Structure 1
Amino acid sequence: MQNSNELKLANVAYWMIVIAGTIGVLMYFQNFLKVFCISFLIWYIVKKLRDLVSKIKIGKYSLPQWLVTIISTVAVFLAIYSIAKIIGSNFQSLAQNFPQYSDNISKALLALGNVTGVENLDQSFLSLLAEYKSSIVGYAGSFAGIVGQFIIILIYVVFLLLEETLFQEKIQKVLNTTTAGGNIYKTVNAVANLFDDYLSVKIFTSFLTGLLSYFALLIIGIELPALWAFIIFLFNFIPSVGSVVATLFPALFGLIQYGEGSVALTVLIAVGAIQILVGNVLDPRLMGSRLNISPLVVLLSLTLWGFLWGVVGMILSVPITATLIIIFGQFDNTRPLAILLSKNGEIHFGKDTSE
């Protein structure tokens, strides 16, 4: 009995050390890992575009694979560079125009103070305005820093493209060396399919939400609609809170730009309706229940990965958690944890226990 208790304590200590070590590694190497994750996402987009371009035929002839890869890679990086330049210039324009927005902010806060009976509300927020302006300039600088890492990301993507075929062959050879190779292969395929489905659907729905929001903001008359559309696109990858935050940004800016609450309310209704239509109607129909993650686990995962990696961690929190559920479901010791993390306690992909 004593040996059994000691074994349980040893297992608990072992897992605590593993978890603490993993978190330490993720935090210590976060700069490298975040850049690599961004490179991996860009590689994935290049791969999907390459699949589309490869279907193009000139008469009876198809384009060679190397040419298709070059065309896809150049197109994706040109698009990213153009977007980065546009968003960076929008941030700078936003920072430069803050003095003219401050009058509208004072007007709106003065009206709010008269309604609520709070005195000097506008003066209290004017001091925060200078800090907010500094933050905007800082965000513009950090965005420029991302552009400065453009070359590093490009190198990673190029090497991912070069290693793509060889890596698949290496994995297959490794799997052939173990009796559990078939089960590992099933696990890898399940993770790859889930990741592919999630990114395909999320990129499409987020792009559609950003595009529709761009035209809605353009019609309403909100300045810098491309910036807010990009923020909406990006934040829609963050589960639960992302769409809410993305909707509040242009609404608050509408209040700042015009100094009228009616404009902010119009933006909230218009962009919120688009978010509900795409997020609650279209997204579930396309994605279905393939993720199989508990809503509470989604929120906890969002908090954990946001703490570790910031916005990049929030964006990746859902596919990482779904991947862990699939992997945990393959082993007897971790299968209970996979059941707890799942949405309904059903592990749809797991080792055949009948063997």
Structure 2
Amino acid sequence: MTRPERPPHAPVPTPDPAPDFRRIRTAAQVIIAFAVVLFLLVQARFMLISLATAIILFSLTADAINSIARVRIGPAGIPNWLASIVALALISTVLLSLSAVILSQANTVLSTTLAYTDRAPEAIAATVAWLGPDAETAVRNAVATFDVAGWLRTLAGQAGSLMQGAVLVILFVGFLFAERVWFDTKLESLLGDATQAAKAGRIISSIIHRVNYYLLVKTAVSAITGLMVYGVARAFGLDLAGPLGILTFVLNYIPAIGSIIATVLVALVAFVQLADGPLTLAIFAITGAIQFLNGNIIDPMLMGRALRVSSFGIMISLAFWGAVWGIPGMFLAVPIMVGIMIVCSHVPGLRSVAVLLSREGLPESESDLDRRR
């Protein structure tokens, strides 16, 4: 059977350009939306960092408030408003006290380090003395060009905004407590379906559970690490033993990078103060062993499968949020990543993102939610 021939002057059919145009338009809209969101994240960083911190603190204390409200005093329990006020007062006290301690320790580190600034070039140049006087002079001149004092004053200025952030976090937490009673009702009205609202509530509860567990384990391990580093610094007679222990505790909330920075910081302080290479190497080795033991053995053992996020994904999250929000963004990177992974695992179109972010490629499923009900 022969195929019918096309008339000689018939028009040649052309493909419809509409699908390609729609794909290009969609890609352009996604890029523009991402750019706008990124711009807003950078411009409103102080407000958004405070809000994210407030949400984490609120999630940490929500269960405690419910437990306080269930305490029986006479025929009735403690009113919700009273439990919220008590929790807000405790959070305010802890935040303001912690901010004051960090600021005082930052000032101590600043003043002491500035006193050592003049000695640092000589101590660093002494390490290359074996290469000859020319190499020693070159290293001394190179180190002297670094404006360490200016960097330290800049960091101190950034630390000065910590108290303002603490006050803003307290205000946000107070508003969240005031809205807590109506959250379920608002969620159901927003979604318009009780089943969907219940599912969304379970997803939020799962995020809160896993972030809370991560923060509690991280706090315990960081506190132990800080105390051990403090003991090592005191044993070797370092002037900044207390600030080094506190900074180690704080920096250990930054996965992987924080422990490295804390270890190098201890070694630098020891080298500048003691000017003894072998002794500094011993302090560096002991501090590194403490960080390795607590960070790579005890921490994963306690964390178990509660986090289940990819190590590479954590590094990507650290890089992104560190670039957008600076050091505070690195502290919030893991909780934000956990929330994104859980949400994406329950959205069919975004499940591939959850697979990439999860450790074993097995993001949270409906059965995981049911077990936490």
Is the CA contact 2:114–2:149 (under 8 Å) kept in the aligned structure 1? no
Matched residue, 2:233: 217
The alignment status of 1:208 with 2:228, answered yes or no, reads: no
Offset of 1:351 from its aligned partner? Answer: 9.2
Q: CA deviation at 1:150?
A: 3.8
Matches of 1:187 and 1:276, distance apart in 2? 34
Matches within 5 A, 1:1-355: 2=16, 3-44=18-59, 46-47=61-62, 69-98=84-113, 100-102=115-117, 104-117=119-132, 118-120=135-137, 121-128=139-146, 131-175=147-191, 177=193, 180-349=196-365
Q: Secondary structure at the match of 1:97?
A: helix
How far did 1:52 drift?
8.1
Q: Look up the equivalent residue of 1:115 and give its one-letter code.
A: W
- Superposed displacement of residue 60, structure 1: 12
* d(CA) in 2 for partners of 1:133, 1:301: 31
**Number of aligned residue pairs:** 350
Cα deviations by residue, 1:150-169 (Å, 9 ceiling, x for unpaired): 43332222222222222244
Which shifted more, 227-236 or 38-47? 38-47
**Residue aligning to 2:11:** none
Corresponding residue for 2:5? none
Distance (whole Å) between structure 2 residues aligned to residue 246 and residue 60 of structure 1: 53
CA distance in 2, matches of 1:115, 1:261: 13
1:331–1:351 Cα contact (<8 Å) kept? no
RMSD: 3.2
Q: State the Cα deviation string for residues 154-192 of structure 1 (Å, max 9, x = none).
A: 222222222222224422444453653343333223222
Contact 1:251 1:263 in 2 (8 A): no
Counterpart contact for 2:117–2:149, Cα < 8 Å: no
Tell me the distance in 2 between the aligned counterparts of 1:67 and 1:216.
Answer: 44
2:111 partner amino acid:
Q
| Separation (CA, whole Å) in 2 of partners of 1:238 and 1:114 | 36
Looking at structure 1, the residues matched to 365 and 350 of structure 2 have their Cα atoms a distance apart, in angstroms, of 14
Q: Is the 8 A contact 1:90 1:224 kept in 2?
A: no
Separation in structure 2 between the aligned mates of residue 11 and residue 95 of structure 1, nearest angstrom: 51
* Structure 2: gaps of 5 or more residues: 1-14, 369-373
Q: Secondary structure at the match of 1:333?
A: helix
Q: Distance in 2 between matches of 1:151 and 1:318?
A: 24
> Contact conserved, 1:104 with 1:259, CA < 8 A, in 2?
no
State the TM-score, normalized to the length of structure 1.
Answer: 0.84
Q: 1:260 to 1:103 in 2, by over 3 A?
A: farther
Instruction: Evaluate the alpha carbon distance shift between residue 205 and residue 49 of structure 1 in structure 2; reply closer, same or farther with a 3 A threshold.
Output: farther
CA gap of 1:290–1:331, structure 2 versus 1, over 3 A, is: same
Instruction: State how far apart, in whole Å, the 1-side matches of 2:98 and 2:224 are.
Output: 16
Structure 1 residues 40 and 180: CA distance shift in structure 2, 3 A: closer
Whole-angstrom CA distance in 1 between matches of 2:295 and 2:204: 28
Query: Is the CA contact 1:46–1:73 (under 8 Å) kept in the aligned structure 2?
Result: no
SS of structure 2 residue aligned to 1:95 = helix
More displaced 10-residue stretch of structure 1: 299-308 or 181-190 = 181-190
Structure number, greater radius of gyration: 2
Report sequence identity in percent. Answer: 25
Cα deviation, residue 109, structure 1: 2.1
Name structure 1 gaps, 5 residues minimum: none
Give the match's secondary structure for 1:334: helix
Structure 2 counterpart of 1:18, one-letter code: A
Distance 1:19 1:136, change over 3 A: same
Matched residues in 1 for 2:228 and 2:75: separation? 38
